[in-house]
Chain A
Amino acid sequence: MSGLRILVPVKRVIDYAIKPRINKAQTGVETAGVKHSLNPFDELSIEEAVRLRERKGPIKVEDILALSAGGPKCPDVLRTAMAMGADRAFHIDVPEKGDGGPEPLTIAKMLQAVVKEQNVNLVLLGKQAIDGDQGQTGQMLAGLLGWPQTTQASKVEIKDEAGTVEVTHEVDGGVETLRAKLPMVITTDLRLNEPRYASLPNIMKAKKKPLEKKTLADLGVEDTRRLKTLKVTGMLFPVLDFISFLVLALIRFRDAEPPPRKGGGKVEDVDGLVGKLKELGAL
């Protein structure tokens, strides 16, 4: 095989150290004024692509192409990807409408078109994006391309010039090693590597690397939606519901009314409480 041409799709998501908040209309998560960064799983994909190049294995890495679909801020994460070592980037311009963006199948079709157009022979992508948490794109892409896929990789090794790849991933109770031939799709998991920092010289260099803007129409893909988000709510209410359910069940089980409450005393603060408890001999 002549050389590795790697495609690394990346997504700009709310930073994983920031606690997401549901918007007032309950249609999604509040994104305005919230810090965004590279999806952490995609960071691993970029790092792995760069390491494949640095490792100087049996097949030379010819090209690392980073790609992101989304609004006008997407180039930020593409510059980060290029500062980490990607050679060039595509920004697929998809206007932000606050509706969660295109569905995984649309993205997979878009990637399929890029793979064909750019003659890509390895797609390294995160197993999921931490905003939608759908985890479908890699699998759909492999299906559309008819390529072998290995998911949740924790180790990737190019074995020979013929393009044999061994991928290790974690399964229940152990690890499983799979072998396949290029071209293929690999999705990445947390244990794969530790992404590097973007160094200042590389950040400078990344500014001069080519970043091409395209649209879905350029790639012959239509943004069709099959799903409609009805409502997004927090976790608190289900938990409370569950607790009240338990309490009710417990009362039913005992088949008795809870004992009548005795009148309580009121204390002013923690110190008062401690004092009271001491008085009652509880401490």
Chain B
Amino acid sequence: MSSARNLTAALRRARVPRPRLALRPVQFTPLTSTTRTFTSSSTRTSDSRQIKYTSEAYNVQRNPNFAEISAEDVAHFKELLGSQSAVIDGVTTDAADDIEPFNSDWMRKYRGHTRLVLKPQNAQEVSKVLKYCNERKLAVVPQGGNTGLVGGSVPVFDEIVINTSRMNQIRSFDAASGVLVADAGVILEVADQYLAEREHLFPLDLGAKGSCHIGGNVSTNAGGLRLLRYGSLHGSVLGLEAVLPDGTIVDALSTLRKNNTGYDLKQLFIGSEGTIGLVTAVSIQCPPRPKAVNVAYFGLESFEQVQQAYLAAKGQLSEILSAFELMDGRSQSLVIESTGNKHPLEGEYPFYCLVETSGSNAEHDMAKLESFLENVMGEGIVADGVLAQDETQFQALWRWREGITESLSHLGGTYKYDVSIPLADLYQLVEDCKARLTEMGFVGDDDSFPVRAVVGYGHMGDSNLHLNVSVRQYNKEVEKAIEPWVYEWIQQRQGSISAEHGLGVAKREFIGYSQNETMVKLMKQLKNVYDPNGIMNPYKYI
């Protein structure tokens, strides 16, 4: 019996190409810093000391109003936080190696000069730390799992890193309402597994879920793969606990779905990237975990038909639709080129879509899905398609969407733009960008052309496109041809230059393309009200 079981286990391993969970699409979106990204991605395996300092790469000056950290400050923090593991002291001792992971990001793109990392354990400790910093005018950077894509969680100069990793307790979960209350430093996957045991689901899923903290997710208003179904964090977060720079603990940890009493101030902390306060706990509405999941993969002849298919999916699959992803033909041929996998469809099409349903009843879902498939095939909206018959096919089909980023990185460098554009114009950006670069003589099939391909893919259901320009080698002229043209293009259509990745260091100076002067002015006023000394995450955001 046991050896036979082993055999099956071996078979299971052999037949499953790659686990899906760890490989959700991770988007690198270097907007301002395509040059630097490219350099950094090519030096990925080299020593961390080669990452260029953000202060040099972005040419920022240290704000002279901020105080320098002294040995007395460190002694004060040590006494305040007590525990040996709460302070990584690079001021009075040599702790460069210990501090390095807090000073740079996983893409090896941003690097700061911090010499002190603090890991408070609760809101009271955070309050004491921030109060002291505010009085002393010591700048700080709130940091969670440090998995951001725009450099928001990495210090620029000697800001003190306040890391949330020791605030990692799940406080409560109520099965009836589905409300989870947890500390900011709980890792997203840990929270999701905790919920899985209780047949619920965290309403957010993204590539970095094994490392990112839910406090960081909330602070950056992370988007991810479940947004189409479960909405943005502005809706699912019911309450939070945060600490203002003056030490005030904002207790807005409501677990109520409805609460129309005054300004909804918690929204200020969602997506403000730690520039107003530090989130220490979150209460969030969690849906029941779907019991049945299906995936279909389509080939379509035009973007017009992609839109029709999306409308049909929304109308006919409605509540069970959980993903509608778009991939253009070129992106799929690059995956084939890179992986050598056999494409699921016989013919070639200019567009492909991946449709996922999640529901509570497999038969009901399948009946709906089949009538939807019959409809889109019968109407000629979809030219061809396949439906995953088992879990392995399910994962294999997702790989055609998720594998794009990885495949592109194998083929060379990539300029990546994470944008949001009204649906009708969504793919036009790729066409126009391709036409522009082709006209300028950059695009071609052999090595004499710098650009290999201009591809588009993304979360169709969220009007979120990833425009990727795959290049053979970095070329300053190509970069100049894309930027700022691409931002202007998006601005003309009232789109967003950063759909889900935020501003951080990378997109700070481009906010004007997506927000008008009045809006930016109001934002600055808000910032000044809550953080008059500007110590919270400086040199970023706005």
- Which B residue sits closest to A16, measured CB to CB? B12
In angstroms, Cα B188 to Cα A10, docked, is 41
Q: Tell me which residues from 159 to 209 in chain A have a Cβ below 8 Å from any Cβ of chain B.
A: 190, 194, 197-201, 203-204
- For A35, the chain B residues whose CB sits under 8 A away are 292, 362, 390-391
- For A198, the chain B residues whose CB sits under 8 A away are 386-387, 389
- On whether A200 and B382 interact (CB within 8 A), knowing A16-B15, A268-B83, A271-B119, the answer reads yes
- On whether A275 and B85 interact (CB within 8 A), knowing A16-B16, A16-B390, A201-B377, the answer reads yes
Tell me if B2 counts as interface (CB < 8 A to partner A). yes
- Which B residue sits closest to A278, measured CB to CB? B98
Q: Which of A33, A37, A133, A268 contacts B389 (CB 8 A)?
A: A37
- For B302, the chain A residues whose CB sits under 8 A away are none
Q: Tell me which residues from 257 to 272 in chain A have a Cβ below 8 Å from any Cβ of chain B.
A: 267-272
In angstroms, Cα B83 to Cα A268, docked, is 8
Q: Which of B373, B382, B386, B391 contacts A16 (CB 8 A)?
A: B391
Contacting pair A38 B11 (CB below 8 A):
no
Considering residues B88, B296, B382, B386, which has the most beta carbons from chain A within 10 angstroms of its beta carbon?
B386
- Which A residue sits closest to B293, measured CB to CB? A35
- On whether A133 and B7 interact (CB within 8 A), knowing A200-B386, A271-B119, the answer reads yes
Contacting pair B85 A269 (CB below 8 A):
yes
Tell me if B8 counts as interface (CB < 8 A to partner A). yes
- Which A residue sits closest to B395, measured CB to CB? A17
Q: Tell me which residues from 77 to 127 in chain B have a Cβ below 8 Å from any Cβ of chain A.
A: 83-85, 88, 119
In angstroms, Cα B155 to Cα A152, docked, is 60
Contacting pair B4 A197 (CB below 8 A):
no
Contacting pair B390 A15 (CB below 8 A):
yes
- For B362, the chain A residues whose CB sits under 8 A away are 35
Tell me if A238 counts as interface (CB < 8 A to partner B). yes
- Which A residue sits closest to B13, measured CB to CB? A16
Q: How far is the CB of A132 from chain B (nearest CB, A)?
A: 8
Contacting pair B377 A200 (CB below 8 A):
yes
Contacting pair B11 A17 (CB below 8 A):
no
Contacting pair A203 B84 (CB below 8 A):
no
Tell me if B480 counts as interface (CB < 8 A to partner A). no
Tell me if B49 counts as interface (CB < 8 A to partner A). no
Q: Which of B84, B296, B391 contacts A17 (CB 8 A)?
A: B391
Contacting pair A17 B392 (CB below 8 A):
yes
- For B291, the chain A residues whose CB sits under 8 A away are 33
Q: Tell me which residues from 14 to 51 in chain A have a Cβ below 8 Å from any Cβ of chain B.
A: 15-18, 33, 35, 37-38, 40
- For A276, the chain B residues whose CB sits under 8 A away are 84
In angstroms, Cα B291 to Cα A33, docked, is 8
Contacting pair A17 B16 (CB below 8 A):
yes
Considering residues A201, A269, A272, which has the most beta carbons from chain B within 10 angstroms of its beta carbon?
A269
Q: Tell me which residues from 252 to 266 in chain B have a Cβ below 8 Å from any Cβ of chain A.
A: none
- On whether A16 and B392 interact (CB within 8 A), knowing A130-B8, A204-B377, A238-B2, the answer reads yes
Contacting pair A203 B373 (CB below 8 A):
yes
Considering residues A33, A35, A271, which has the most beta carbons from chain B within 10 angstroms of its beta carbon?
A271
Contacting pair B373 A200 (CB below 8 A):
yes
Tell me if A282 counts as interface (CB < 8 A to partner B). no
Q: Tell me which residues from 363 to 392 in chain B have a Cβ below 8 Å from any Cβ of chain A.
A: 370, 373-374, 377, 382, 384-392
Q: Tell me which residues from 211 to 245 in chain A have a Cβ below 8 Å from any Cβ of chain B.
A: 235, 238
Tell me if A149 counts as interface (CB < 8 A to partner B). no
- For B297, the chain A residues whose CB sits under 8 A away are 197
Q: How far is the CB of B193 from chain A (nearest CB, A)?
A: 14
Tell me if B393 counts as interface (CB < 8 A to partner A). yes
Tell me if B476 counts as interface (CB < 8 A to partner A). no
- On whether A203 and B387 interact (CB within 8 A), knowing A17-B16, A268-B84, the answer reads yes
Q: How far is the CB of A224 from chain B (nearest CB, A)?
A: 22
- For B342, the chain A residues whose CB sits under 8 A away are 194
Q: How far is the CB of B132 from chain A (nearest CB, A)?
A: 22
- Which A residue sits closest to B6, measured CB to CB? A235
Tell me if A80 counts as interface (CB < 8 A to partner B). yes
Tell me if B57 counts as interface (CB < 8 A to partner A). no
Q: How far is the CB of B267 from chain A (nearest CB, A)?
A: 33
Contacting pair A197 B344 (CB below 8 A):
yes
- Which A residue sits closest to B3, measured CB to CB? A133
Considering residues A16, A83, A200, which has the most beta carbons from chain B within 10 angstroms of its beta carbon?
A200
- On whether A272 and B374 interact (CB within 8 A), knowing A37-B390, A190-B11, A235-B2, the answer reads no
- Which A residue sits closest to B376, measured CB to CB? A200
Contacting pair A272 B390 (CB below 8 A):
no
Contacting pair A204 B119 (CB below 8 A):
no
- For B8, the chain A residues whose CB sits under 8 A away are 16, 130, 133
- Which A residue sits closest to B370, measured CB to CB? A203
Tell me if B14 counts as interface (CB < 8 A to partner A). yes
- For A274, the chain B residues whose CB sits under 8 A away are 85
Q: Mark B293-324, 1 if CB is under 8 A from A, else 0.
A: 00011100000000000000000000000000
Q: How far is the CB of B401 from chain A (nearest CB, A)?
A: 15
- For B84, the chain A residues whose CB sits under 8 A away are 268, 271-272, 275-276
Q: Tell me which residues from 1 to 60 in chain B have a Cβ below 8 Å from any Cβ of chain A.
A: 2, 4-5, 7-8, 11-12, 14-16
- Which A residue sits closest to B121, measured CB to CB? A268
- For A15, the chain B residues whose CB sits under 8 A away are 390-392
Considering residues B2, B85, B370, B384, which has the most beta carbons from chain A within 10 angstroms of its beta carbon?
B85
In angstroms, Cα B392 to Cα A155, docked, is 23
Considering residues B166, B385, B390, which has the most beta carbons from chain A within 10 angstroms of its beta carbon?
B390
- On whether A17 and B5 interact (CB within 8 A), knowing A35-B391, A199-B345, the answer reads no
- For B2, the chain A residues whose CB sits under 8 A away are 235, 238
- For A18, the chain B residues whose CB sits under 8 A away are 391
Q: How far is the CB of A194 from chain B (nearest CB, A)?
A: 7
Contacting pair A272 B391 (CB below 8 A):
no
- For B12, the chain A residues whose CB sits under 8 A away are 16-17, 130
In angstroms, Cα B4 to Cα A38, docked, is 19
In angstroms, Cα B15 to Cα A272, docked, is 41
- For A275, the chain B residues whose CB sits under 8 A away are 84-85
In angstroms, Cα B388 to Cα A35, docked, is 13
Q: Mark A114-142, 1 if CB is under 8 A from B, else 0.
A: 00000000000000001001100000000
A-B contacts, 16 of them at CB < 8 A, read A15-B391, A15-B392, A16-B16, A17-B12, A18-B391, A40-B11, A190-B14, A194-B342, A197-B389, A198-B387, A200-B384, A201-B377, A203-B373, A204-B374, A271-B84, A271-B119
Given contacts A16-B11, A17-B395, 5 further A-B contacts (CB under 8 A): A15-B392, A17-B390, A203-B370, A204-B377, A269-B85
Using a CB–CB cutoff of 8 Å, the interface residues on chain A facing chain B are 15-18, 33, 35, 37-38, 40, 80, 83, 130, 133-134, 190, 194, 197-201, 203-204, 235, 238, 267-272, 274-276
Kindly list the 7 A-B residue pairs having the minimum CB-CB distance in the complex, ordered from nearest. Answer: A17-B391, A271-B85, A37-B390, A133-B4, A197-B386, A272-B85, A200-B385
Using a CB–CB cutoff of 8 Å, the interface residues on chain B facing chain A are 2, 4-5, 7-8, 11-12, 14-16, 83-85, 88, 119, 166, 291-292, 296-298, 342, 344-346, 362, 370, 373-374, 377, 382, 384-395
